[in-house]
Amino acid sequence: MKRILIYPNRILFNSVRLYAIHPLNLFFILNIYDMKKFITLLLASFSHFLSCTPTNDPNSPQRIPLATIEVITSSGTWVGEWFNAKGERIGTAGPNGEPTFMPSGWKLSFRPQKLPFELFCNAEAATGLVGSPASPDVTVNLYVDGIRVASETNKYAKGVTTADYIIQP
């Protein structure tokens, strides 16, 4: 049977000393050569950690998020306008001004060319009843990287709504 004697910060196994792991006891456990290797490794790890931190360099490339516009209406179709990836206003009107009806559930996804970017959509239910109690509902949902950031239903009147959101760098 082995004898185990316990002293503060030390354990003796048959006269072999093992020090308990304590920050102050590291100096006693490691000899000077091992301590130099330990400190060198610690400093190298710390300098690597510092070099991996993000920078605020304006010349570094920005990650451009994925923007998505979705329009849902109970009438089945809608007309309206939105901003494209270049920030240009695009509408559902044809070349002669006649409306092009878009289906309910329509989605458009793109990556803006520059930030900040205004994600915007104006939609109107495609019926002659806009603004009346019998007008169908229309909802615009805006997403950034798959997360809904804005949603509006019948913002101005029943059947007419606008949603917008500024995507920051």
Q: What are 48's strand-pairing partners?
A: none
- What is residue 89's predicted lDDT score, i.e. its pLDDT? 92
**Residue 75 counted as domain residue:** yes
| Domain limits for position 163 | 67-167
The closest of 137, 118, 117, 119 to 127, measured between CA atoms, is 137
Q: Looking up tokens 């290797």, which residue turns up?
A: 37
Looking at the fold, whether 97 and 31 belong to one and the same domain comes out as no
Looking at the fold, whether 103 and 134 belong to one and the same domain comes out as yes
The yes-or-no verdict on residue 117 having pLDDT over 50 is yes
**Residue 56 counted as domain residue:** no
The yes-or-no verdict on residue 145 having pLDDT over 90 is yes
Looking at the fold, whether 85 and 44 belong to one and the same domain comes out as no
Q: How many structural domains is the chain composed of?
A: 2
- What is residue 19's predicted lDDT score, i.e. its pLDDT? 47
The pTM of this model reads: 0.63
- What is residue 28's predicted lDDT score, i.e. its pLDDT? 56
Looking at the fold, whether 23 and 83 belong to one and the same domain comes out as no
Range among 23-32, 108-117, 119-128 with highest mean pLDDT value: 108-117
Looking at the fold, whether 94 and 142 belong to one and the same domain comes out as yes
Looking at the fold, whether 78 and 125 belong to one and the same domain comes out as yes
